[in-house]
């Protein structure tokens, strides 16, 4: 038994390579694969790589749950399993039944679409630049961990999102089935609680999206008044506060369509709710690409219909009462205290001239980590 070097796949290869099978050639994923292409071993092919009774053979492979955290693993499975090396402890086959019933016809059509195009690689890329997302804040000189793949918040890739997780995605673009999500609290490396922008309620704010590939589609924004940098909310919170865009001509809409033009910056404006204030609100950006062929709601098929690749990103902001002047500042989360929790907050000395600031502190600070730059405890 030989073991690959430390930069190779983190498991041994059973048996010496064979010359009777072609050498796999792995397509490079969007990020560097943490292991090289494997040589097929001198053994009988894995049962998961051939057809079985009642199926049309395996056309798609996915990592087992314990291996899905590895970047590029889905592409590795798809390439090497088809060439004969498919360890069942690392990759599994997703099969498609020939027979359709009325109940499963729609899902079968969707699965057929997966077979028409190799999945797992991103159709394109994008990032939220203003307000800077948790993964991109370092680009704006915030002292946050750098995420050099901040344009890849695509829910783990099309295959993982739709084939494994049934269309679900983490609130900030991480794979839904990942136990510790890098961009979510608690536990996420990039979920530092850094407040990157401060606004006032009802304000029209500038936003900027960077699309780094040409792939059509549309994007939208939602808001969640979370007020707890140590624990992120569920998607239901965002769904209660969809945000509206406003164009230079005053046209209001809930989504913006991306023109089929080369990549670049897409500036626009958002209207914040007039009745929401928060010590920590999360702005969620969702970008749904439009490069895949699928079934439309009117019974036809077209490009952009059906399941599409999805991107998400989250930005942590604060929203102050009307009359307050937003300031450009970085608010780092405070460490948990071990003493008696504060029950009464007032505006910090430098903020007491802002109308409504003390009321804002009383409402938003109890039970959370309020920055002393804005609010202080007044318990006796």
pTM of whole model > 0.95? no
Confidence of residue 273 (pLDDT cuts 50, 70, 90): very high
Query: How large is the C-alpha radius of gyration of the chain?
Result: 24
Per-residue pLDDT, 375: 79
Q: Which of 3-17, 116-130, 270-284, 364-378 has the lowest mean pLDDT?
A: 3-17
Per-residue pLDDT, 75: 74
* Helix (H/G/I), strand (E/B), else coil: 160: helix
Largest CA distance in the chain: 81
Residue range(s) occupied by CATH 2.70.50.50 in the chain? 126-320
- Domain 126-320 belongs to what architecture? Distorted Sandwich (2.70)
Per-residue pLDDT, 71: 62
Q: What is the pLDDT of residues 32-90, one digit of tens each?
A: 333 444 433 333 333 333 333 333 356 677 777 666 656 667 777 777 777 777 777 77
For 235-261, give the DSSP string.
HHHHHT-B-EEE-TT--EES-EEPPSS
d(CA 58, CA 82): 8
**82 to each of 76, 197, 247, 276, how far by Cα in Å?**
10, 48, 49, 53
d(CA 182, CA 188): 4
User: Please, what sign has the CA dihedral across residues 4, 7, 8, 12?
Assistant: positive
Q: Which of 34-43, 86-95, 150-159 has the highest mean pLDDT?
A: 150-159
Mean pLDDT of 202-227: 86
Q: Which residues contact 124 (CB under 8 A, 6 or more apart)?
A: 211, 212, 213, 214, 215, 263, 289, 291, 309
Half-sphere exposure for 157 (CA within 13 Å, toward CB)? 23
Per-residue pLDDT, 170: 95
What is the C-alpha end-to-end distance of the chain, expressed in Å? Answer: 70
Cα 309 to chain centroid, rounded: 11
For 305-366, give the DSSP string.
-SS--EEEEEEEEEEEPTTPPP----BPPPPPP-SPPP--EEE-GGGTTSTTHHHHHHHH-T
Confidence of residue 320 (pLDDT cuts 50, 70, 90): very high
């Amino acid at each position: 038994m030989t073991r690959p070097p430390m930069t190779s796949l983190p498991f041994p290869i059973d048996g010496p390579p064979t010359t009777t099978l072609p050498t796999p050639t792995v397509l490079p994923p969007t990020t560097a694969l943490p292991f090289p292409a494997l040589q097929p071993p001198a053994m009988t092919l894995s049962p998961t790589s051939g057809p079985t009774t009642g199926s049309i053979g395996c056309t798609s492979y996915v990592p087992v749950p314990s291996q899905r955290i590895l970047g590029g693993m889905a592409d590795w499975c798809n390439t090497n399993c088809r060439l004969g090396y498919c360890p069942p402890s690392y990759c599994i086959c997703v099969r498609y039944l020939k027979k359709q019933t009325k109940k499963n016809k729609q899902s079968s059509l969707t699965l057929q679409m997966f077979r028409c195009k190799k999945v797992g690689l991103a159709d394109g890329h994008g990032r939220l630049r203003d307000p800077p997302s948790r993964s991109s804040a370092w680009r704006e000189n915030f002292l946050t961990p750098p995420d050099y793949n901040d344009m890849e918040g695509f829910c783990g890739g099309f295959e993982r999102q739709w084939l494994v997780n049934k269309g679900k995605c983490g609130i900030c673009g991480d794979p839904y089935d990942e136990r510790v999500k890098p961009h979510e609290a608690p536990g996420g490396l990039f979920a530092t609680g850094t407040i990157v922008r401060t606004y006032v309620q009802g304000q029209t704010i500038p936003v900027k999206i960077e699309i780094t590939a040409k792939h059509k589609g549309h994007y939208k924004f939602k808001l969640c008044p979370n007020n707890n940098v140590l624990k992120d909310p569920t998607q239901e919170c965002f769904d209660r506060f969809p945000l509206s865009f406003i164009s230079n001509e005053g046209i209001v809409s809930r989504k913006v369509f991306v023109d089929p033009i080369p990549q670049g910056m897409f500036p626009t404006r958002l209207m914040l709710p007039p009745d929401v204030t928060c010590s920590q609100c999360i702005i969620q950006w969702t970008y749904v690409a439009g490069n895949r062929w699928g079934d439309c709601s009117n019974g036809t098929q077209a490009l952009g219909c059906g399941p599409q690749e999805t991107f998400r990103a989250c930005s942590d902001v604060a929203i102050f009462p009307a009359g307050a002047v937003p300031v450009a500042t970085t608010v780092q989360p405070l460490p948990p205290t071990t003493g008696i929790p504060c029950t009464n907050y007032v505006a910090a000395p430098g903020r007491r001239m802002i109308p409504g600031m003390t009321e804002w502190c009383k409402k938003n600070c109890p039970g959370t980590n309020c920055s002393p730059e804005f609010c202080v405890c007044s318990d006796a």
